[in-house]
Amino acid sequence: MRCLKAQRLISDHIDNLLKGRQAQALEQHLKECPACRELLNEMQMIAEEAKNLESVLPSEDLWERIESQIPKKSRRSRSRLSGIGRFFRFSLYSRELAFSGSGLLAGLVLMTLFYYGTPSMRNDRGITGQVASNQFEEVDRQYQLAIEALNQAILEQNVELSPDLAAVFEENLEIIDDAIRSFRTAMNEYPEDQGANEYLLICYRKKLELLGEMKDLMMRSG
């Protein structure tokens, strides 16, 4: 094992997150490498010192100040559609990051409205062409791995986008993540209806596209 790899594993090691071969390989490396042993000791010390950072409390009257500024009761509205609605609405007016193909987008809106129409509408609709549930888990896993890999690649770019552009990306990603959560909720509420699976995969694809654009921009900036 090289020191670079060992350094990353040491951080997980002090949190007891390493198992099996990785743990064994690291322990072997530590026996042979004084520099990494020193890093292990220092990281343990950092984690220990962090626990002892002083805790501070706000003023006693802060709640009164906060309460006086909370708006009077607003009407409660918790729509299952709101996250998905934001996803599409924001995508339409975010010019820099608009998803390619307005026809596809319009189709997605219609499909979503159709899906979230009524239970009877959902029951009437067949599942032809949808990803079978036993395949879905694997596809879902692969998408999540791809997203994680792309996230990692972005982090490793070590380039910072302008705050405004970064904020636009963050807001778009938040909207897509909201939509992903909404479709997951729908999947849990209606497990017999696999329609949400497909829309979830569409969201994953959009997230991958967005992260890909982000990475390209960073590469061009760097």
Partner 1 sequence: MNSQKEKIGDTAFNGSNRSESLLDIIRRCQDGDRKAMEEIYSRYRSSLFNLTYRYTRDLSSAEDLLQDIFIKIFTRITKLRAPEAFRAWVYRTAVNACISSTRKSGRGKHIPLTENDNPDEAEADNSHIRLDMEKAVSILPPKQKAVFLLHDVQGFTHGEIAQVMKWSEGTSKYQLFRARMKIRGHLKDIRP
Region of 25-33, 56-64, 121-129, 135-143 interacting with partner 1 (CB under 8 A):
56-64
Helices 102-115 & 82-93 angle (0-180, nearest 10): 170
Please choose, from the candidates 195, 214, 77, 91, the residue with its C-alpha nearest in 3D space to the C-alpha of residue 136.
195
131-190 binders of partner 1 (CB under 8 A): 144, 147-148, 151-152, 155, 163, 173-174, 177, 181-182, 185
| Near partner 1 by CB under 8 A: residue from 5, 31, 80, 89 | 80
- Interaction between residue 19 and partner 1 (CB under 8 A): no
Binding positions for partner 1, 82-101, rule CB under 8 A: 82-83
Among 16, 20, 34, 58, contact with partner 1 (rule: CB under 8 A): 58
Tell me the closest approach of the beta carbon of residue 104 to partner 1, in angstroms: 24
Stretch that binds partner 1, among 11-19, 102-110, 135-143, 214-222 (CB under 8 A): 11-19
Distance CA 166, CA 170 (A): 6
Integer Cα distance of 16 and 153 in angstroms? 26
If the CB atoms of residues 34 and 56 are measured against partner 1, the closer one turns out to be: 56
CB within 8 Å of 39: residues ≥ 6 apart:
7, 10
17 vs 104, which CB is nearer to partner 1?
17
Nearest approach, Cβ of residue 4 and partner 1 (Å): 11
**How many whole angstroms separate alpha carbon 147 and alpha carbon 129?**
24
4 counts as binding partner 1 under rule CB under 8 A = no
Report the distance separating Cα 169 and Cα 201, nearest Å: 20
Among residues 15, 96, 9, 98, the alpha carbon closest in space to that of 50 is found at 15
List the structure tokens of 113: 């409205």
Query: Binding residues for partner 1, how many (CB under 8 A)?
Result: 54
Contact 9, 18 (CB under 8 A): yes
Q: Is residue 75 a contact point for partner 1 (CB under 8 A)?
A: yes
Q: How far is CA 36 from CA 18, 22, 39, 62, 205, in A?
A: 16, 15, 5, 47, 40
Where do contacts with partner 1 occur on this chain (CB under 8 A)?
7-8, 11-12, 15, 17, 39, 42-43, 46-47, 49-59, 62-63, 65-67, 69-80, 82-83, 144, 147-148, 151-152, 155, 163, 173-174, 177, 181-182, 185
